[in-house]
Structure 1
């Protein structure tokens, strides 16, 4: 039943009950202590008055002379002065010489409480006792009367305070105590409401079950994402990480990372600089332990304060693979579209020739088409045994024809010794980018009828591809910048990625790519890819 209540209600009840219990315990202890203290204080007061009366010379001489009138006058006056219930004076045999009730004079003090005052009369000791007498329950202080001349005990003084007086005093203090306890209880409830309200705001009004579910969802999400994630607090200690981060950074999976200083786990990190500056880093490319990564670092703010930094990172090759796969899909789509468009036109032309009874021209067109494709296919089968590369070149050939251009492949080309470790999808993406750029540059500058030439060789230790176009050429000061991200000779937006990805792949494989202007016009891109990839990183390693 308690769990069904809202967190705020539960906290108010729990804190209120704790406050009430503490108040009752403290109040009960204080009341008990107060009662004992008052009893002790009144008893000590009675004893002090008894000792004072016993030391009065008039009392000592009155007891020796058994002057009851004097002793009764003195006892009544002192009792009234000290607000005592009674003051009884007896001789050395505990026979009353002074008493508020004259009928009890001359009788033994033992008929009141059974205590003859032995400790005072025999041992000469003053003491406190609680007893019922003729005047009711009272707190009594008893003291011996000592003759200073010879030191003999000549009598006894008993001073009593009624328990009703004691209880009235205790009750008076208890009402104050009860009032304080009530205020404490109210203050506890108010404090519980304030604490519960602030706590509820601090957790965004969520219930414990919702927090638990969100935590489980967060953990599942954190572990399911394919990007590595590491977060630190304002002191530079790791607070969050996922399995991908451990795998990507090559950390020990058994190492307890939570709470560890980031500088100890990753000594050369940049998270602390972001923590100090508060400036985020987006899409920064770094090298770490032989692999290129794309890193984002974002400061975590609470109001105006920076309370931590979150870093997400992923291997560059994974992003490149996605980009290249998209490029490859686009190339396939372009190839299919160009082939469909081209063959549709030719089929319409052949159908028209047949309808006008120009059968010889139709057969010649069919023969020309078959001859051209058969020659290209025969060349690709002999020079490029790899079906992925051959398919890419066939598609680019059809694409060029659709654009009104020609893609000429050097008949002396040879590309049979392609290493198995070289990713085919990345290779055709690179080659496709170079041919597409050449076709576009040729069409814009030369127009229909232009030619793009491709030459390939696998002799020696490198695979060499040369792509010549009939475009406007590339200025000398731009020949290196065109490989930068976002730099393009095309005026429209959305370009400047293809050659950047080409350079990234070439660098990772340890190859080179050059560009030069041809004397006859246009430019030439030459791609060198070693058959054995390089293992050196081109830039210093920097962890996330």
Structure 2
């Protein structure tokens, strides 16, 4: 049986049971109240008659019934009682609705307490049938001389109860019908709210969602429109430095993560991608996406966080591959041009010039390669620099390696990838600077030395240079003077991060319109 059917039947049965209980309870309450009301009324009438002087004086006459009967019958008709019986101490009737029973003994056996001076309400069976009675003693001179009994038949009371019960039944029936309709509507609404899913399907989806969230390497946090956290995974706990046993769900997002922009996403309904945010001293890239319901209304937002250093490592690897690819492409292009030149000389019959051209190219290439192999024996660094030289040639940039460079004494514990990151990003930055300049000769020079206790890397260019304002911001993550590149603003940041990891430092001098010199110093031995 499906969930909405169970809900409808369950609610319907519960409402029917409750309606039955309510009807039975109201019936009993109304019957009890009605009997109490009629009994109190009967007792009040009985006391009134018992205290009437005409009734009391009639007891001293020879024929009391002749005086009492007319008065009792008149009052009985006025109050709607079934009977009003006045009797003497011996329970002989002086009045009765049926005149033939006057002078006979009273029936019911409930006058004992009355003759002791008490007024009572009782239920008993008399000559007219079961009745509810109010009885009061007639007292003269401190003595009980008679009794007044005012009664209403139980059948009449039951008729009144039946009328009230019918009204209660009709009202209860309306309530039951309305409740059944409400139960159907509630069931259908719940069905729509849970997209027609069954409890087992919801449980499976919850477990599946939990497993997916925990398998994601990024931190995930979702909030509702009030900014309360609704979802948070273990990675987010780790990023926020909050133990997993501390419940974050239900807390306000600003109490957990300051300077969050999830509220902006909830208000605007616009997604934000790759936005930097500082969490516990580390830079993270955040993606924030609004959550919509079926009516396209924003009901919350979800944010994912990924440490920027992880992306930086990925970018570093990609930049290495890109640099190698660009170097090979540049060399291919450059050698194609030289081959065309050589082909032209041969076709013109200038064989001597062709031989001289080949000898010159071989000497230059071998000389530069031999210099690199001798002074920079590390194949990773040397190969990277060779690729940059080829790239510079294609870009029409003069990249020179200072002949006084030497990088032989590079300790094995210093990470080569970080050195390549530093050199590559500084050289790339210099390439960009000279390409933006108006100088006809675009020069970049690289100097490496391992003399002393530090490794020195120096990159100089004759590019556009920087003014004071730019110099104050150039090392900030994401800052760039280039407005068109989507990947700008991270090169120097990656270089700075690699320098910090190696325990070094970076300095630079720059003159607007003349160029820039970046100098990096890395200790060969880290202090313990």
Range into which the TM-score falls when normalised by the shorter chain: 0.7 to 0.9
Residue 483 of structure 1 contacts residue 499 of structure 1 at CA under 8 Å; is this kept in 2? no
Tell me which residue corresponds to 1:326.
Answer: 318
- Where do 5+ consecutive residues of structure 1 fail to align? 536-544
Shift in CA distance, 339/116, structure 1 to aligned 2, threshold 3 Å: closer
**Alpha-carbon deviation of 1:22?**
3.9
Aligned with 1:243 (options 234, 242, 247):
234
Q: Is residue 2:449 matched to residue 1:457?
A: yes
Aligned with 2:121 (options 122, 128, 132):
128
Shift in CA distance, 393/134, structure 1 to aligned 2, threshold 3 Å: same
**Alpha-carbon deviation of 1:408?**
3.7
Q: Number of aligned residue pairs: give it.
A: 515
**Alpha-carbon deviation of 1:92?**
2.3
Tell me which residue corresponds to 2:520.
Answer: 527
State how far apart, in whole Å, the 1-side matches of 2:3 and 2:194 are: 17
Residue 240 of structure 2 contacts residue 279 of structure 2 at CA under 8 Å; is this kept in 1? no
**Alpha-carbon deviation of 1:370?**
5.7
Aligned with 1:109 (options 90, 106, 109):
106
Aligned with 1:33 (options 22, 25, 29):
29
State how far apart, in whole Å, the 1-side matches of 2:205 and 2:196 are: 10
Tell me which residue corresponds to 2:65.
Answer: 68
* Partner SS, residue 467 of structure 1: strand
Residue 375 of structure 2 contacts residue 406 of structure 2 at CA under 8 Å; is this kept in 1? yes
Aligned with 1:270 (options 232, 241, 259):
259
Residue 513 of structure 1 contacts residue 525 of structure 1 at CA under 8 Å; is this kept in 2? yes
Tell me which residue corresponds to 2:379.
Answer: 387
* Partner SS, residue 172 of structure 1: helix
State how far apart, in whole Å, the 2-side matches of 1:313 and 1:127 are: 85
Shift in CA distance, 217/358, structure 1 to aligned 2, threshold 3 Å: farther
State how far apart, in whole Å, the 2-side matches of 1:143 and 1:477 are: 114
**Alpha-carbon deviation of 1:454?**
2.4
Shift in CA distance, 162/419, structure 1 to aligned 2, threshold 3 Å: farther
Q: Is residue 2:156 matched to residue 1:165?
A: yes
Shift in CA distance, 479/264, structure 1 to aligned 2, threshold 3 Å: closer
* Partner SS, residue 113 of structure 2: helix
* Partner SS, residue 96 of structure 1: coil
Structure 2 matches for 1:11-410, cutoff 5 A?
18-64=14-60, 65-110=62-107, 113=108, 115=109, 117-121=111-115, 123-146=116-139, 148-149=140-141, 151-186=142-177, 188-189=179-180, 207=197, 209=199, 215-216=206-207, 218-229=209-220, 240-258=231-249, 269-271=258-260, 283-284=275-276, 286=278, 288-289=280-281, 291-294=282-285, 313-342=305-334, 372-403=364-395, 407-410=399-402
State how far apart, in whole Å, the 1-side matches of 2:507 and 2:81 are: 117
* Partner SS, residue 328 of structure 1: helix
Residue 466 of structure 2 contacts residue 512 of structure 2 at CA under 8 Å; is this kept in 1? no
Shift in CA distance, 369/13, structure 1 to aligned 2, threshold 3 Å: farther
Residue 321 of structure 1 contacts residue 426 of structure 1 at CA under 8 Å; is this kept in 2? no
Shift in CA distance, 49/390, structure 1 to aligned 2, threshold 3 Å: same
Residue 433 of structure 1 contacts residue 498 of structure 1 at CA under 8 Å; is this kept in 2? no
Q: Please give the per-residue CA displacement for 1:2-59, whole angstroms capped at 9, x wherever unaligned.
A: xx144xx766665555555444433322221110111222223223333333333443
Q: Please give the per-residue CA displacement for 1:31-89, whole angstroms capped at 9, x wherever unaligned.
A: 21110111222223223333333333443444443443333333322322222222233
State how far apart, in whole Å, the 2-side matches of 1:170 and 1:27 are: 13
Aligned with 1:429 (options 398, 418, 421):
421
The alignment's TM-score, normalised by the length of structure 2, stands at 0.76
- Where do 5+ consecutive residues of structure 2 fail to align? none
Residue 262 of structure 2 contacts residue 301 of structure 2 at CA under 8 Å; is this kept in 1? no
Shift in CA distance, 340/169, structure 1 to aligned 2, threshold 3 Å: same
State how far apart, in whole Å, the 1-side matches of 2:283 and 2:490 are: 18
Residue 518 of structure 1 contacts residue 524 of structure 1 at CA under 8 Å; is this kept in 2? no
The alignment's TM-score, normalised by the length of structure 1, stands at 0.74
**Alpha-carbon deviation of 1:457?**
0.6
Tell me which residue corresponds to 1:542.
Answer: none
**Alpha-carbon deviation of 1:391?**
2.1
State how far apart, in whole Å, the 2-side matches of 1:399 and 1:272 are: 42
State how far apart, in whole Å, the 2-side matches of 1:534 and 1:11 are: 71
Shift in CA distance, 359/253, structure 1 to aligned 2, threshold 3 Å: farther
State how far apart, in whole Å, the 1-side matches of 2:407 and 2:496 are: 22
Tell me which residue corresponds to 1:511.
Answer: 505
Q: Is residue 2:401 matched to residue 1:412?
A: no
State how far apart, in whole Å, the 1-side matches of 2:319 and 2:509 are: 22
**Alpha-carbon deviation of 1:257?**
4.1
Tell me which residue corresponds to 1:540.
Answer: none
Higher RCO (CA < 8 A, seq sep 6+): 1
